[in-house]
Structure 1
Amino acid sequence: MVLRREIGVLEGTGSTPQVSQALEEKKTKLANALCGVVEVYMTDLSWEEDAEARCETLVTEALLVASNTPEPLQTLASVRISQLRMEDARAALSRSIELWKDLDTEDVKVPDFPTRISLSRLLMEAEMEDDALEVLERLVGEDDSSVEAWYLGGWCLYLMSEKRRSSGDSAEERKALMPLMRASREWLQNSLKLYQVLEYEDGRLKEHAEELVQGLTKVLGPPTDGDEADEDKGDWEDDEEGSEDEEMEDT
């Protein structure tokens, strides 16, 4: 590979700030290229007998080449998720996020928008919903016209509400549940509005978003102008809690 040769040449050159910067850039490009090949083996070439072994070799090289960049760690997490090694996947994802989460968006070390969209999906697969939502809120802050970011945020909030719903029946848990569900529906409805405006073409996304909204509306009832005020207020009257609990029991 050309990048390998160029890296070899730079490593044999005297150490200067310019050389160090060029070397870092080449290594990052090589690591990202290797990660791209891993994704191919995990999708289009997954049927090949040695696909898993090739993925391991490639992602290991990517980590050796650029251990302090987020993409190789993100790719490692994807491989570990496919192997059902969830603890290892969570560790890799946490390390990946730590490398850039406190940097300004303009910093070159922050992964690009599509890479962070993929990251949010991996975080949700790894049941790291809080981290996924943090990533998605930042993405929406950068570009509020992303159908996928709004959809994933709504889905993430839905998963968080389902976890809360199944964890117990205390009044405190019910109090936290309803705002999550309302926020989920709001994010999903935003994604569906943008879907129409932008003539987005992912039919499966639209179908899933609509399905989630319908399920949420069965519990919450039709959206009202007061929903956002209720979320901001964060407290509930006893009779409201009672009626909401009855609605949930009926579903």
Structure 2
Amino acid sequence: MARTKRAARRGGGLKTEKRDLEASQAVTTTHDAASLIDKAHTLLAQSNFELAIKFLERALEVEPSNLEARELLGVAELEGGDVDSGREHLLHLLPPHTSEPPSHPSPYLYLAQCAQDPQEALGYYTTATAILERRIAENERKGKGKAVVDITGEEEGGEEERQMAVTALVAMIEIWMSDLCFEEAAEKNCDALIARALSISPTDPEVKLSLASIRMSQSRFEEAKEVALDLYNEIEGKEAFDDTLPALPARLSLSRLLLEHSQHLEALEVLSTVREEDSLNVEGAYLEGWALYLRAGAIVENPSLLTVTPSLKPPAAVAAEGAEGVTQDEDEDETPMTAEECFSESMRSLIECAKLYSEQDYVDEGIGAHVAELLEELEKKGVQPAMGDLEDEDEDGDVEMAA
């Protein structure tokens, strides 16, 4: 049986190689730019950037002035990792290389992402958002309007167009809050940009998180907390893998924001969906351990929290319930976790994070240093990790982290 499976896998690989060979041959035998571009669209959808580039280069040989081929080639180069070549092709879509600038947003959005400085990125984002907001306004005047298909074959109408606009506006806010945070106009521009984003999509999680970040930077902490809790209330009680949940990065950002406002239980509830959907996520494991550590410290400082707050089940127990099909309603145990249990669960999560961090060569040194610091403090307290999904740990429990 094993030999048959291996043979089947080899056969599958040979079929793929054969298809790629046939496609490569088609590059040289096809003389119609439109057909070459159509094939490139298919290859891009399959993330076969290398072969897509060959088709697009051939299309430009056949028809050097074809702007669709030029833009797609730029996109394929960027997605394939060649930022310089991709940027160069996209710049050739703009004057003086062309008589008119593109009237659709995608080239500007791609150029913004590979811009060489923040002001350049803002310029491209500004052009893209102006195009998108104009289209949104036109669609609203006409009703739903007709979906527009951009040069890469993606529909930009309706919600897709709104999502592109708010994503670009949020990216501009992030530039003003990071690279340009010391500029005199930073706060004013952030307020103006978030107002535009809210007018386009007031319920978008990324927009709400951006609003909360702005309010935090302005020391308007209660307003930031209100935004965070509002977003939490919208997703409270939803199970992992629910299509209506915000994207995983947004939930991680929300968890961080909730922790900044000492909303430990709320953060842990959000993180439970992250951990269930992606158990290998380093940041998810880190934030779970940090939240439990903070929760334990809060109980030590104020033991009455155990009588006035809802129960908190150990993450390992929640995972076990999910595996066994046990729902919260079926479990009558409402006993909240003690500070000692929270510390123990925190150590379990942090050890798991350390393991994932090392295995994945994770790039965020800040997380690595903080995890090492927390584990050292827990060891000094004499805390033992809770029994969970820890595997292949050293017998002495030592965990090495990059400082």
Relative to the length of structure 2, the TM-score reads: 0.51
2:178 aligned with 1:43, yes or no? yes
Amino acid paired to 1:155: W
* 1:148-190 deviation per Cα after TM superposition (whole angstroms, max 9, x unaligned): 11011101111111111112599989x7110000011111000
> For residues 222 and 78 of structure 1, what CA distance do their matches in structure 2 show?
36
* 1:68-92 deviation per Cα after TM superposition (whole angstroms, max 9, x unaligned): 2222111111111122222111111
2:6 aligned with 1:6, yes or no? no
2:295 aligned with 1:160, yes or no? yes
2:375 aligned with 1:199, yes or no? no
Amino acid paired to 2:355: K
- Could you say if the C-alpha distance between residues 147 and 80 of structure 1 is closer, same or farther in structure 2, counting changes exceeding 3 Å? same
User: The residue matched to 1:144 in structure 2 has which SS?
Assistant: coil
- Could you say if the C-alpha distance between residues 221 and 116 of structure 1 is closer, same or farther in structure 2, counting changes exceeding 3 Å? closer
- Could you say if the C-alpha distance between residues 144 and 105 of structure 1 is closer, same or farther in structure 2, counting changes exceeding 3 Å? same
Instruction: Please name the residue that 2:215 is paired with.
Output: 80
User: The residue matched to 1:56 in structure 2 has which SS?
Assistant: helix
CA shift for structure 1 position 17? 10
Q: Does the aligned pair in 1 maintain the 2:240–2:273 contact within 8 Å?
A: no
CA shift for structure 1 position 27? 2.0
2:387 aligned with 1:228, yes or no? yes
2:241 aligned with 1:105, yes or no? yes
* 1:132-155 deviation per Cα after TM superposition (whole angstroms, max 9, x unaligned): 111111101000001111011101
User: The residue matched to 2:173 in structure 1 has which SS?
Assistant: helix
> For residues 58 and 220 of structure 1, what CA distance do their matches in structure 2 show?
49
* 1:92-139 deviation per Cα after TM superposition (whole angstroms, max 9, x unaligned): 1122233444376352x5322222222211111122222211111110
Map 1:156-195 to 2 at 5 A.
Answer: 156-168=291-303, 176-195=338-357
- Could you say if the C-alpha distance between residues 55 and 74 of structure 1 is closer, same or farther in structure 2, counting changes exceeding 3 Å? same
> For residues 9 and 40 of structure 1, what CA distance do their matches in structure 2 show?
28
Q: Does the aligned pair in 2 maintain the 1:76–1:89 contact within 8 Å?
A: yes
Amino acid paired to 2:298: K
Q: Which moved more, 1:55-64 or 1:178-187?
A: 55-64
Map 1:138-153 to 2 at 5 A.
Answer: 138-153=273-288
Amino acid paired to 2:164: K
Q: Does the aligned pair in 1 maintain the 2:347–2:384 contact within 8 Å?
A: no
- Could you say if the C-alpha distance between residues 168 and 199 of structure 1 is closer, same or farther in structure 2, counting changes exceeding 3 Å? same
CA shift for structure 1 position 15? 4.3
Amino acid paired to 2:351: Q
- Could you say if the C-alpha distance between residues 166 and 103 of structure 1 is closer, same or farther in structure 2, counting changes exceeding 3 Å? closer
Which one has more relative contact order, counting CA pairs under 8 Å at least 6 apart? Answer: 1
Amino acid paired to 1:105: F
CA shift for structure 1 position 46? 0.1
User: The residue matched to 1:12 in structure 2 has which SS?
Assistant: helix
> For residues 164 and 111 of structure 1, what CA distance do their matches in structure 2 show?
30
Q: Does the aligned pair in 1 maintain the 2:256–2:287 contact within 8 Å?
A: yes
Relative to the length of structure 1, the TM-score reads: 0.79
> For residues 170 and 3 of structure 1, what CA distance do their matches in structure 2 show?
49
More helix by share: 1
Instruction: Please name the residue that 2:48 is paired with.
Output: none
**Unaligned ranges ≥5, structure 2:** 1-129, 149-155, 309-336, 389-403
Select the residue among 84, 102, 115 that pairs with 2:250. 115
Amino acid paired to 1:46: C
Map 1:45-84 to 2 at 5 A.
Answer: 45-84=180-219
> For residues 170 and 88 of structure 1, what CA distance do their matches in structure 2 show?
24
> For residues 170 and 116 of structure 1, what CA distance do their matches in structure 2 show?
25
What value does the CA root-mean-square deviation take over the aligned residues? 2.8
Q: Which runs of 4+ in 1 moved over 4 A?
A: 15-19, 168-173
2:352 aligned with 1:216, yes or no? no
Q: Does the aligned pair in 1 maintain the 2:344–2:383 contact within 8 Å?
A: no
Amino acid paired to 1:228: M
**Unaligned ranges ≥5, structure 1:** 230-251
Q: Does the aligned pair in 1 maintain the 2:241–2:273 contact within 8 Å?
A: no
- Could you say if the C-alpha distance between residues 170 and 120 of structure 1 is closer, same or farther in structure 2, counting changes exceeding 3 Å? closer
Q: Does the aligned pair in 1 maintain the 2:139–2:145 contact within 8 Å?
A: no
CA radius of gyration, larger in: 2
CA shift for structure 1 position 39? 1.3
